[in-house]
Structure 1
Amino acid sequence: MRNKVLSLFSGCGGLDLGFKKAGFHTIMATDVWDVACKSLELNNVADEVICGDVRELDLKKYKGKVDVVIGGPPCPPYSQTRHYLVDKVGGFQDEKAGFAVPEYFRAIKEILPKMFLFENVDGFTFKTYKEPMEFVQEQAETLGYNITYKVVNAANYGVPQTRKRFICVGLKKEIGSFEFPKETHSEKGENGTKTWVTCGDVMSDIDTITEEEKLQRPGSKDYELLLQIPPGENYLYFTEKRGHPNPLFKWKSRYWTFLLKLTPDRPSWTIQASFSNNQGPFHWRNRFLRIEEIKRIQTFDDDYKLAGDFKEQWRQVGNAVPPQLAFAFAEQIKKYL
């Protein structure tokens, strides 16, 4: 009998796909965005897909029916970019998503699963967000869970992307304490691990550029600069510190992703949730990435269906937990059930 999962803040189903491949069965998945819910339905992610505000869900009815609760509450309240938005407050005070982490733990309180997996951006651990981190610890203790947490790099689990994420796993105290799955990859393949999976490894068979793509101008007004940037570099290539003879930018004066270009020789940097004309990563052939490419960078199957237009599909993939990362944790979680 397969272990049963309830999925919150499911997005297009990255966590769910990883757990499904590890033999779990999702009985309910939910998201507030109708486009993401359509993707969940297109891929038969769960027995039931509920599209709506998590605050309005009756979760008590799932008590005793679920082994694991999984979910990644919306991350903007805890992102690094929030530090640059002086007119916006982060954490629990965020006007759009500050409620999400407390709602996640309302679910834990009302369902009392054997285990839970909570995912967010690495910024969740910053001292700036002391209140949410303490809340997670207090809730786990009150509800009778041992928690294990740290920031992991998805590339160390075979994902072709150096994507850092906060993962917290809770086990009912009578079960024990969770041990994180052993990392399978590293940058140089040290200590018995494989070397990181690179962009070239997963994109070489579609390393082309169409006539239509040649007419596009990634980087917008800075397109000509993008053409000069070597693969694996960004706008810092044009700084005095990097030895450029005619510096155009001051050191760290822009977002890291400004004019960022992939290289086939290493994993991608984090795929962002919003598509941009001048924020990368861009392809080393000086073009925008395709949806099929960011799906591979995020380890979605090629035939995984996405609802919506181009930008909506990009947002879904960029927001997702890489299924390969989810699979590694799901395989480890099985050992405790």
Structure 2
Amino acid sequence: MEFRGQAISLFSGAGGLDLGAHEAGFAVRAAVEHDRDAAATMEKNFDTLTRPVIQEDILDVSTEQILAAANMKSGEPDLLIGGPPCTPFSKSGFWLDWKRDGLDPDASLLQSYTKVLREAQPRMFILENVYALTFKNKASSDPFNRLMREIKEAGYTAFPLVLNAADFGVPQARPRLFVMGVREGLTLHPHPQPTHNGKWERRATGTADTRPHVTTSQALASVVAEPEPTETVAGRYGHLLPEIPPGDNYLYYTEKRGHPDPQFGWRKRYWSFLLKLDPARPSPTIQAQPGPYVGPFHWENRRLRVPELKRLFTFPDTFELTGSRNAIQSQLGNSVPPYLAYKVVKAIVGEDDPDEIMGETTVFE
């Protein structure tokens, strides 16, 4: 494959952003990833790395070390990509006072990204994070404003926008913040335009003149997946799952919904509790570390299998993930769907073609 440029990857995880960049023509030359299993996944799937993944805490890694791993100097990288861990800004974290007050040490990882941006001086960059980073509260408004200020001070023109993966042909409703930027003086092209539309959390998403969202039944129709030892949902609430209709959740067992034997109070649990996939819609957001009764579960009343998870993220069937079943769930749940990443990278170079699809990955049209 001929490459148009060279990329550096931070907080690489399993390589969702990296795979999208690769398919869009950027060779990932260096990667920083602290997690052992995710680093092994990167090394197994990316043969463009100049050296092994830098498997250290990014707070302890210098920009010089990263550039040396890529065999580059400051100003030479074409693209910097990365998604700093989102714990302090995710909606699921706001119930903790210390996170609401912005005291989570993970927040400083945004500054690790902007530090490399300032010192490595790539031509372009893409930063991904949870969309809650933009929320107006203690834990997010100041970090977001600081992030945008530091990007500008580093010498870049940037624009943030929340994109829902389902609006781009990914069979998963996964809204994420993408900050795209270029060195001052270069042209900043707009974010990609949605190619699909549908419903997300009771409201319309995408644009009306596009195709319908890709559904889970479309995505999983041809998948080959052997049963997994841990796929059975047992324990205190596992026996309740079979009665729940596809697309529904624990609210099915509430008095307000008319159940003859209510098991739960109205809205007393997370929405994803006992949540089951709807074959006629995209999957809800798949989490990295779901609890024992947190879905989405398959409509066959079991946990999703790894090949099915890969399909719902648009990783190729041939993509190899390293580690335990829990480690694989974490890697996928934290990843950017490669097809969405591909569309974002194509957009930043001014090649947003709605009808163009990513090379060998699984894309459902």
TM-score category, normalised to shorter length:
over 0.9
Question: Superposed, which structure 2 residues align to 1:154-169 within 5 Å?
Answer: 154-169=165-180
State the SS of the aligned residue for 1:93: coil
State the SS of the aligned residue for 1:241: coil
Tell me how many residue pairs correspond in the alignment.
332
Give the aligned partner of residue 35 of structure 2: 33
1:94 alignment partner, one of 96, 104, 124:
104
Give the aligned partner of residue 220 of structure 2: 203
Question: Superposed, which structure 2 residues align to 1:68-217 within 5 Å?
Answer: 68-86=79-97, 88-89=98-99, 93-95=103-105, 97-128=106-137, 129-187=140-198, 191-206=208-223, 217=232
Distance 1:58 1:177 in 2: 28
1:10 alignment partner, one of 1, 9, 12:
12
Give the aligned partner of residue 21 of structure 1: 23
1:292 alignment partner, one of 307, 314, 317:
307
Structure 1 portions without partners, runs of 5+: none
Give the aligned partner of residue 47 of structure 1: 50
Give the aligned partner of residue 335 of structure 1: 350
2:257 alignment partner, one of 242, 267, 290:
242
Shift of 1:47: 2.5
Shift of 1:251: 2.0
State the SS of the aligned residue for 1:247: coil
Shift of 1:50: 1.2
State the SS of the aligned residue for 1:186: strand
TM-score, normalised by the number of residues in structure 2: 0.85
Percent identity of the aligned residues?
39
Asked if the contact 1:15/1:321 (under 8 Å) is kept, the reply is yes
Flag the structure with higher helix content. Answer: 1
TM-score, normalised by the number of residues in structure 1: 0.92
Structure 2 portions without partners, runs of 5+: 68-72, 200-205, 352-365
Listed one character per residue, the Cα deviations across residues 35-71 of structure 1 (whole Å, up to 9, x for unaligned) are 1111111112533321111122221444122011110
Asked if the contact 1:38/1:307 (under 8 Å) is kept, the reply is yes
Distance 2:146 2:221 in 1: 45
Q: Which moved more, 1:54-63 or 1:306-315?
A: 54-63
Shift of 1:208: 7.9
Distance 2:184 2:135 in 1: 27
Q: CA RMSD in A?
A: 2.1
Distance 1:44 1:269 in 2: 29
Asked if the contact 1:199/1:264 (under 8 Å) is kept, the reply is yes
Would the alpha carbon gap of residues 216 and 305 (structure 1) be closer, same or farther in structure 2, given more than 3 Å must change?
closer
Shift of 1:220: 2.5
Q: Which moved more, 1:165-174 or 1:9-18?
A: 165-174
Question: Superposed, which structure 2 residues align to 1:219-234 within 5 Å?
Answer: 220-234=235-249
Would the alpha carbon gap of residues 252 and 68 (structure 1) be closer, same or farther in structure 2, given more than 3 Å must change?
same
